[in-house]
Structure 1
Amino acid sequence: MVGALVDGATVDAALATARTAAVERGVPVPVRETLAVVGDRSAVTLATDGDAVDLLETALHEGVPAADVEEATVAAVSRGGAAGALGAVAGAVAGARHGRASVPARWHNDLDRTPEDLAALAAGLAASPPRS
C-alpha cells in the first residue's frame, strides 16, 4: 500500500493493490481483514496496545485519511498505548500519500543519509517478501 501511495496512486487504488497482494502472498487473514475495512471506523474497534495487526489497523485508520504527516502522527500518538509504533506507521503512511513536503520543517534533523539513500532503503523494504 505504501509503495503504491509513493508512486502516486489514489488511496482507493493503493488499498486495492494492498488487498490483492495480501491475497496473492498468503498474508494472514487478520491482516487481510484489516485492509478490507481501512477507512470504515464503524467496522472496527481501534486498539492502541495489542498485537501487530491491531497496531497496523489503528495506524492505517489514522494515516490514510490524514491531511498530512503531522496530523496522522499526532492523532496516532495521542491514542496512547504503543504510541511510538502507532505514530511511526501512521506518519509513514501519510508521508507516502502526501510526500516529503508534508513533513513539518521543524521535524527535520540532520540525518546521516540522503533522501536518495532513504528512498532506496524504502524501495528495498517494499520489495522484500513477507515473513512467515
Structure 2
Amino acid sequence: IFREHIQKCKKATDKPFGVNIPLMYPSIDQLMKIVIEEGVKIVFTSAGNPKLWTAKLQEQDIKVIHVVSSIKFALKAQEAGVDAVVAEGFEAGGHNGREETTTFTLIPMVKEQIQVPLI
C-alpha cells in the first residue's frame, strides 16, 4: 500500500515530494527499497538512528531530514550527515522525548547548536 500511495502522489504532481518513515518500523528495509525504486526525493526520518540510512539514501540523490525532540538528538542527526533537522516539541503528539520541551522553546536551543538547516 505504501508504494500505491507514492504512485498516487507521483501522478498528482510533477514536483518533488517527501515521505515520513519512522526508522523503528519492522519493515524498514522494504520501505526504503520502495522509496528508492519509486524515486522519492525527500525522506523525513524519525524514531531511530538516521546514521543507518542517511548515506544510502543520499547516494540515490534523496534528501534526508530527521525529526528530533532534543538538542542531543539534533547533534546526533547532524553527525549522521542529514541534510536538515526538524525540531518537534512535546505538543506535537506521539512520542516526542522525555524532556517534554515545547517546539517554541526547542527551536532556538537547537538552532544555536547545529549548522544544518532547521525546520
Give the structure with the higher percent helix: 1
